[in-house]
């Protein structure tokens, strides 16, 4: 029973902040923790229908009796009891976020999703007390162990290999539980903020490095192309110069050949005209004398040093000298022509031998 002093003390306590907090804590509901939904076991009504993809474990007088498959099942009242119901469907459970340390001492926060299936209802019922809790804890410990053997870069790059190793480790440990882990997927990996900043800086530096390498390769290829172009241009220019020199030389040779042919034809016609006409030699001598006088007159114009003949003022003497030169040249030509004609005439053996001897002398 509350007395007056107790009521006064309670009023004073309610008007203080500590009292208000204590009262609020007393009447507030505690936070609800996420709990798994527990299926209610079916009761024994003698005739039962087992749903598809389920297995019911039946105990008789507290001991395992049999496993009921989907369909109609007959139970004995008071003796048979449905102790466990196992779902044979694939189940996905969420692995809570946990921390793990890599081989290079980087702390990571990871979470994932595990997919498992009951393959042996008997082992799942009697081999482990809480299969879902046990396999969740096993997945967490296995993931920490696997990540502890890998570096940060390997963990981020080879996520599939990490998932495969975790599945193998879980299947090896949960074989006696009648549970098969189908696959494990790491959902999120959260490195520390400083590590993320360092990774971003590394990526930026790597991209800058690639850009510089590509730019240098482009400049190198451009220089090579320019050098190849200059080389080809020089080769083509030299080929063109060579072809031009060959064409010029061929043109000059053809010009010299044509000039020589023309001069030979002119000389041949002059000689023929001289032989066939009366007084041709005198006309040729007169022409030679005229050229001699003209050439002598041009000497003073082309050079300061002049070689003057002994009788430079006697034109007749100069003409006579030119005619004597022409006469001696004509005599030599006639002599050679007579010798050539004599060698070309057919003769008998006696006269041929004598003629050969004379020509030889």
Between 123-132, 170-179, 251-260, 301-310, the lowest mean confidence (pLDDT) is in 301-310
pTM: 0.47
Between 98-102, 139-143, 325-329, 347-351, the lowest mean confidence (pLDDT) is in 347-351
Class of residue 162 by CB neighbours under 10 A (exposed 0-12, middle 13-18, buried 19+): buried
Q: 275 CB contacts (<8 Å, ≥6 apart)?
A: none
Per-residue pLDDT at 16 exceeds 60? no
| Residues 320 and 288: beta-carbon distance below 8 Å | no
Per-residue pLDDT at 312 exceeds 70? no
pLDDT value of position 157 = 82
305 vs 94: CA distance, rounded Å: 123
Confidence of residue 233 (pLDDT cuts 50, 70, 90): very high
Confidence of residue 12 (pLDDT cuts 50, 70, 90): low
Q: What are phi and psi of 174, to 5 degrees?
A: -95, 15
Four-residue CA torsion sign, 248, 253, 254, 258: positive
Q: What mean pLDDT value characterizes the chain?
A: 77
Q: How far apart are the first and last CA of the chain?
A: 183
Class of residue 325 by CB neighbours under 10 A (exposed 0-12, middle 13-18, buried 19+): middle
Name all contacts of 182-185 with Cβ < 8 Å and 24+ positions apart: 182/90, 182/115, 182/116, 182/117, 183/115, 184/112, 184/113, 184/114, 184/115, 184/139, 184/143, 185/112, 185/113, 185/115
Q: Provide DSSP, 246-313.
A: HHHHHHHHHHHHHHHHHHHHHHHHHHHHHHHSTTHHHHHHHHHHHHHHHHHHHHHHH-S-----TTTT
Token pair 């590509």: residue: 214
Indicate the pairing of strand 71-74 with strand 54-60.
unpaired
* pLDDT, tens only, 192-227: 888 888 878 888 888 889 899 999 999 999 999 999
Confidence of residue 169 (pLDDT cuts 50, 70, 90): confident
């Amino acid at each position: 029973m509350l007395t007056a002093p107790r009521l006064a003390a309670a009023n004073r306590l309610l008007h203080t902040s500590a009292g208000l907090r204590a009262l609020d804590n007393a009447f507030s509901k505690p936070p609800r923790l996420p709990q798994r939904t527990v299926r209610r076991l079916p009761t024994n009504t003698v005739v039962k229908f087992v749903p598809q993809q389920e297995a019911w474990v039946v105990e008789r007088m507290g001991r395992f009796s049999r496993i009921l498959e989907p369909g109609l099942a007959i139970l004995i009242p008071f003796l048979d009891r449905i102790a466990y119901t196992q779902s044979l469907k694939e189940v996905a459970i969420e692995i809570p976020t946990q921390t793990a340390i890599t081989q290079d001492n980087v702390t990571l926060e990871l979470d994932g999703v595990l997919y498992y299936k009951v393959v042996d209802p008997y082992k799942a019922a009697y081999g482990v007390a809480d299969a879902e809790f046990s396999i969740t804890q096993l997945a967490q410990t296995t993931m920490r162990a696997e990540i502890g053997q890998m570096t940060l870069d390997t963990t981020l790059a080879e996520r599939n290999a990490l998932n495969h190793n975790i599945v193998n480790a879980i299947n090896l440990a949960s074989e006696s539980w009648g549970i098969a882990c189908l696959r494990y997927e790491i959902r999120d990996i959260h490195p520390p903020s400083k590590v993320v900043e360092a990774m971003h800086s590394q990526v930026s530096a790597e991209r800058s490095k690639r850009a510089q390498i590509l730019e240098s390769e482009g400049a190198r290829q451009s220089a090579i192309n320019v050098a190849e172009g200059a080389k080809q241009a020089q080769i083509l220019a030299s080929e063109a110069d060579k072809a031009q020199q060959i064409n010029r030389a061929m043109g000059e040779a053809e010009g010299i050949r044509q000039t020589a042919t023309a001069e030979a034809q002119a000389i041949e016609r002059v000689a023929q005209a001289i032989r066939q006409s009366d007084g041709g030699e005198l006309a040729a001598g007169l022409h030679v004398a005229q050229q001699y006088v003209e050439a002598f007159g041009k000497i003073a114009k082309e050079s300061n040093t002049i070689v003057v003949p002994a009788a430079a003022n006697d034109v007749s003497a100069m003409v006579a000298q030119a005619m004597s030169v022409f006469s001696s040249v004509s005599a030599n030509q006639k002599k050679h022509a007579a010798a050539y004609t004599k060698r070309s005439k057919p003769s008998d053996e006696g006269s041929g031998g004598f003629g050969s001897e004379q020509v030889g002398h």
